[in-house]
Structure 1
Amino acid sequence: MSKVITLSAAESRRALDAALAKAEELGFTVAIAVVDHAGHLTSVARMDGSTFMATTMAANKAITSAGSGMSTHEMAGFLAADPVMLTAMAAQPGICILPGGAPIRIAGAVAGAIGVAGAPTSAEQQIALAGVAAAVGSSETEVD
């Protein structure tokens, strides 16, 4: 039986804290969600002033990245080439292909993912990548 690589609670919290710090640095109020390899929520935060919808969007972006192994903007590009697949995926509950979701890899395996919502998409991506880099240390984490 092979060992499952998953994000620990400490790694999840490091990702969340780094992403929150990046959002504050950039001046945006966002919601951030971190999930494990199976898409289960491990950490979540909604900054003061962030909309109620941002929390759900952030969680869905993280779940989508964990399940696909791709950042949500990469998944959107992949699906854009196949309208039937795009339509099918867009109809799935909990799937979000808006930018702001990124997988967290440990030893080459998807160990979890982070999702950010509530800022312009370029800022969301920066915030997510800050969380990815902090999750287990940038030397061990692959950033997509």
Structure 2
Amino acid sequence: MAHSRSINTISAACARQLTDAAAAAAAEIGVPMCIAITCAAGNLLHFLRMDGAPLLSSDIAINKAYTAAGFGMATHAWHEFIKDDPPLLHGIVHTDRLVTFGGGYPIREGKAMIGGIGISGGHYSQDMDVATKALAAIGLAAG
């Protein structure tokens, strides 16, 4: 019986490429943002706070990436998932680091979830757009 398993996770080089692609996408729309990339376990691997990005957005971006990696679900999907379930709606929102609005996506390579990306600094719709553009720029789909 095996007592361990292999886990696919994002490389540091890929995390840097995603960060650079997200910064370029944010610059295109003129909104400085915070960009966080986590490994599959939700631990921070790469982070950038662009010049002029709000300080508060640093932790939000990190927590969006953590949420996405931790559940394998985009952060914007949480609202729909919990809105009609009162016990879940009123309970889970007290979970540390859980973000329930857009800008965080699991990073997938094929069927394997290899990390999370979190973007914060604009309206959550802008954060979502920057994240999906960054993933597409390096050949990954928003998962």
Normalising by structure 1, what TM-score? Answer: 0.91
* Superposed displacement of residue 98, structure 1: 1.6
2:54 maps to: 51
- In the other structure, the counterpart of 2:112 is 109
Contact 2:33 2:53 in 1 (8 A): yes
Counterpart residue type for residue 141 of structure 2: E
How far does the alpha carbon of each residue in 1:17-38 deviate from its partner, in whole angstroms, 9 at most, with x for none? Answer: 1000000001101111110100
Q: Secondary structure at the match of 1:112?
A: strand
Per-residue deviation, 1:126:
0.8
Aligned partner (choices 10, 22, 26) of residue 23 of structure 1: 26
The alignment covers a number of residue pairs equal to 140
Instruction: Tell me which of 5, 9, 13 is aligned to 1:10.
Output: 13
Match of 1:124 in 2: 127
The runs of at least 4 aligned residues of structure 1 exceeding 6 Å deviation read none
- Answer yes or no: is the 8 Å Cα contact 2:132–2:141 preserved in 1: no
Q: Which residue of 1 aligns with 2:142?
A: 143
Separation (CA, whole Å) in 1 of partners of 2:38 and 2:131:
12
Tell me the secondary structure at the aligned position of residue 72 of structure 1.
coil
Q: Which residue of 2 aligns with 1:42?
A: 45
Identity of aligned residues (%): 36
Cα distance in structure 1, aligned partners of 2:81 and 2:97: 18
Structure 2: tracts of 5 or more residues without a match: none
- RMSD between superposed Cα atoms in Å: 1.3
Q: Which runs of 5+ in 1 are unaligned?
A: none
